[in-house]
A = this chain, B = another copy of it.
Amino acid sequence: MSQFEKRTTELKKLVNQQLAGMLTKKLPITLYDPMRYVLQGGGKRLRPLLVLLACEAVGGKVESCLPAALAVEFLHNFTLIHDDVMDQDDIRRGRLTVHKKWDVSIAILSGDGLVALSYRVLLSKSHPRIAEIGTLFSNTLLEICEGQALDKEFETRKEVAVNEYFVMIQKKTAALMALCAQIGGILGNGTDAETEALRSFGFHLGVAFQLQDDLLDIVADEKLLGKTWGSDIMRRKKTFLLIHALQQGDATTKSQLQAILQKEVIAQSQVEEVKKLFQVAGTIEATQQHINRHFDLARQYLHRLPSSQGRQFLDRFLDSLVKRQY
């Protein structure tokens, strides 16, 4: 096990212990059971790790940013519960989603409760810049809502431009990863330049991450994915892949894609067809190129920080995302 793997394993264990410790309260069970269920669902804890590693990369201590690391994980899990209701997803990380295991009311409420917990832990440790951190956190929450609203709007729209897609994923996904790296920098007492570089690092990491999600939906192994293969297509999600193929594909590819999208119900059997159309249109490579570009940009911003073991760990963190299969 490399030093990086050792450190992230330690940090992930710490995060999991703390998260569990904050949910020992039992009543009312209809509020707390679903929270525990979703938090014990085997998440990768990427966002808290990003906070903690960013803090260490500017010379800060884990203790100073641990509450913020827990806060971003609570916030992330809130978005999963509410998004699954809106997207009518039945499966997440290989298990039933909260609204399927319980019901929509319980999913709404346990999501709301996670937001409360996220702010409670975020604001639990005094810090001279706590109001600023809380404001950044709130702006990010609002951006996530805006991103999700755009994502839903796009589902029923015939055409979505590439730049509209990028605005949507910046809000829905990249804003939170940018925040993670930024507050890690602030709480680690990084300089303004370091904190800004970390924010941009997290931002491009987030953009690449979402593009990967779009790609993995159609190229990943369903077992690893933990959700239905091709679900984006079945839900007519305007992913980068779909937008690209509809714009760059030849006339036949476009009309075949449009014919599938106009069906009343898109069956899973059609996902294979769509995948082939994406290959014909060069969509898979184009997506991979965009992913690589944003990972490269993330790396460039990261390297504005002085070299250190902490920075090296963030390099390895980036590498692990580049290679992810699910």
Contact = CB atoms under 8 A, between A and B. Distances in A.
B109 A148 contact: yes
A106 B135 CA distance: 24
Contact of A113 (B108, B119, B142): B142
B112 A86 contact: no
Interface residues of A, number: 40
Interface in A93-114: 104-106, 108-109, 111-113
Nearest to A28: B149
Contacts of A279: none
A28 B111 CA distance: 22
Interface string A224-243: 00000000000000000000
* From A112, A146, A153, residue with most partner B Cβ within 10 Å: A112
B120 A108 contact: no
Interface in A112-154: 112-113, 115-117, 119-120, 123-124, 126-127, 130-131, 134-135, 137-139, 141-142, 145-146, 148-150, 152-153
A112 B141 contact: yes
Nearest to A130: B131
A112 B80 CA distance: 13
A237 B287 CA distance: 53
B82 A145 contact: no
Contacts of A152: 30, 105-106, 109
Contacts of A127: 131
Contacts of A119: 119, 134, 137-138, 141
A305 interface: no
B116 A123 contact: no
A124 B116 contact: no
A321 interface: no
Contacts of A115: 112, 115, 141
A28 B153 contact: yes
Contacts of A130: 130-131, 134
A123 B131 contact: yes
A167 to B, nearest CB: 10
26 contacts: A28-B150, A30-B152, A31-B146, A31-B149, A82-B108, A86-B105, A86-B109, A105-B152, A106-B152, A108-B108, A108-B111, A109-B148, A109-B149, A112-B112, A112-B145, A115-B115, A115-B141, A117-B138, A117-B142, A119-B141, A120-B138, A120-B142, A123-B134, A123-B138, A126-B131, A134-B134
